[in-house]
Amino acid sequence: MRTRHPAPDIPVAPPHGRNRRWRATATALACALGLVTAMTIGNSQAADVASAPNPPQAAGAAAALPGYDHVVVVVYENKQYGEIIGSANAPYVNQLANGGASLTGMKALTHPSQPNYFNLFSGGTQGITGDGCYTPQSMSVPNLGQELIAAGKTFASYNEDLPGEGSTACTNGQYAQKHNPWFAFKNVPLTTGKTWAQFPRTDFNALPHLSFVVPNQCNDMHSCPVSTGDTWTRNNLDAYAQWAKANNSLLVLTWDEDNYLGSNQIATVFYGAHVKQGRYSGAYNHFNLLRTFEDLFGTGHAGNAASAQPITEVFGTGGEEPPPGGGPTVVNPGAQTCKFNQSCTIQVTATGGTAPLRWTAAGLPWGLTMDASTGRISGKPWGSGTVQITATATDAAGKAASTVFPLTLNWF
C-alpha cells in the first residue's frame, strides 16, 4: 500500500512590517525542504519516495541532451575492455559498438563487484566494500531510482533468476543480490524490482523511462564465457536495440569492473536514436554514467554524480531532432531565470507534428506547473539554485519529442 505524504504547511506572508521575519522564515523553510530537487507536482509516484528530496545543487546548466522515451541499461561482469571490444568472442556486442558509440576511456572505480553497482546507482559505495548481502531497504540516500520517481518518471529493474517481483532474496540459482543495489534503498519501492520474465518482449512502449537489465551470473559473463553472454544479449535484446533506433530510445551496455588483471578499463556502448557512431576516448567512470542518466531525464544528482560531467559527446543532437515519422520538434527556450515565490512564466513551443499537442514537464520545482494544452509553465516557484527542466510535446499521433533547459531560481 502506498502512503501519501501530505504537502508541508507553507506560511502565508504577513503584511508590510513583518516582511523581514517572513523572508527569514521562508528562506529557512525552503532550505530545510531542499526544494531544488526536480519534482512534478501531483504525480502519484512521488508518494513512493520515503526520503526527503535531494539537497540543492550548485548552479550551472547541464549540456543539452536528447529527451528519450526509454533507456535500457545492461550491466555485465568482470571483463577487461580488450576481452570485449575487438574480441571474436563478442561478435554481437561489437556489432552494437560499431553501429553506435563506444567509450574507449571508461573505467570502473573499485573492486570487487558490489561497490561499483552502488557507485553507478547512487554516486557512492554507501559503505559497501565487499560482495556480501546487504540489509534490504536499509538506506535512504538519493539514488537514480528515487530521483526518477521524484521527477515524475518511471523506473524498474529486470533481474534474471529473481524469485519474484520485489524479492529481497540474497541468492537464488544464478541470481545474486550483490548485482542489484536498488533493493538496498527504502526510497525505491520494492515493486520496481521485476523478474526477467516481466521484461516486455514485443511492446517496448510498455518499458519504464529508465530500466536496468541484470542477467544472471552466467549470462552476465561472471561465471560463463564471454560468448555465452554475447549470445544471450543478441537473443534477448536485439529486438529492443533495433526498435530503439527508430523510436527515440537508447540501449546502454556497461560492465561493473575488469578481471583484476588490468587498469579497470571496461567496455561501455551506447546504441539507439540520437547516437553518433564512433569511438570516444574521454576519461569516464560510473559517476559520469550516472550523471548522464540523471541529465537525460532532468533529475537531481546523487552523491559524486553532482560533480561529474555527463557524457555528451556520444549524442548527435541536443534533444530537438524530431522522432522518425514527422513528429513534433520542441524548440529549446534556452536558460531561464525566476525568483523565489514570485510570478514566473515560461512559454515552450514546438513545430510540426499532428495537432493538438499535449505537454508535460519534469523537473519543475514546487509551485510551477505546465499547462497541458499550451506548453506554458507558470506559478510561483519555491526553491533556489539551478534545476534542469525536461519539456515534452506529444502529438495526436502519439509521437513525442523533448528538450532540456536550465531554470535558475534566485531568492530575491
Which CATH number is 395's domain given?
2.60.40.10
354 and 288: one domain? no
Q: To which residue does cell 547512487 refer?
A: 122
Q: What is the CATH number of the domain that holds 86?
A: 3.40.720.10
Give domain status of residue 1, yes or no: no
55 part of a folded domain: no
Please tell me the predicted confidence (pLDDT) of residue 306.
95
pLDDT the model gives residue 49: 27
Report the predicted TM-score, pTM, of the whole model to 2 decimal places.
Answer: 0.65
- State whether 386 and 334 are in the same domain: yes
Q: Do 362 and 224 lie in a common domain?
A: no
52, part of any domain: no
Indicate the residue among 272, 307, 342 that finishes a domain: 307
Q: Is residue 385 a part of any domain in this protein?
A: yes
338 and 301 within one domain: no
In whole angstroms, what is the distance from residue 302 CA to residue 68 CA? 20
Burial label for 237, CB within 10 Å (0-12, 13-18, 19+), is buried
The pLDDT of residue 47: 29
**HSE-CB for 83 with a 13 A CA cutoff:** 22
pLDDT for residue 46: 30
**Predicted pLDDT at 330:** 79
Instruction: Look at residue 238 in the predicted model and tell me its pLDDT.
Output: 96
Same domain, 300 and 245: yes
Question: Which residues lie below 8 Å from residue 141, measured CB to CB, with a gap of 6+?
Answer: 51, 122, 124, 126, 185, 302, 303
* Containing structural domain, residue 299: 70-307
Let me know how many helices (H) and strands (E) the chain has, helices first. 6, 19
Q: Which helix (H) or strand (E) holds 370?
A: strand 368-370
- The answer on 396 and 280 residing in a single domain is no
Do residues 340 and 412 lie in contact, with contact meaning Cβ atoms separated by under 8 Å? Answer: yes
Are the beta carbons of 45 and 208 closer than 8 angstroms?
A: no
Query: Is the same domain home to 242 and 137?
Result: yes
What is residue 321's predicted lDDT score, i.e. its pLDDT?
42
| Positions of the chain with pLDDT under 50 | 1-63, 318-324
Report the distance separating Cα 146 and Cα 96, nearest Å: 30
What does the alpha-carbon distance between residue 56 and residue 143 come to, in Å, rounded to a whole number? 15
Residues 260 and 178 in one domain: yes
| Residue 64 pLDDT | 65
Claim to verify: residue 74 and residue 32 sit in the same structural domain: no
- For cell 504525480, the residue is 43
Asked if residue 252 and residue 107 are part of one domain, the reply reads: yes
Is residue 257 domain-shared with residue 404, that is, in the same domain? no
Quick one: three-class SS letters along 26-46? Answer: HHHHHHHHCCCCCCCCCCHHH
The answer to whether residue 5 is domain-embedded is: no
Please say which residue of 307, 333, 357 terminates a domain: 307
Residue 65 lies in a domain: no
Rounded CA Rg of the chain:
21
> Does 98 share its domain with 167?
yes
On whether residue 128 sits in a domain, the answer given is: yes
Which of 307, 335, 367 is the last residue before a domain boundary?
Answer: 307
DSSP assignment of 96-133: HHHHSEEESSBB--SSSHHHHHHHHHHSS-TT--SSSP
Residue 61 lies in a domain: no
**Does the N-terminal peptide bond of residue 6 adopt cis geometry, omega within 30 degrees of 0?**
no
pLDDT value of position 4 = 38
3-state SS class at 23: helix
Written as nine digits, the cell of 364 is 519543475
Q: In one letter, which amino acid is 64?
A: A
Q: Is 300 helix (H, G, I), strand (E, B) or coil?
A: coil
Distances (CA, A) of 336 to 61, 306, 321, 397, 406: 10, 21, 21, 30, 6
Q: Could you give the number of structural domains in the chain? A: 2
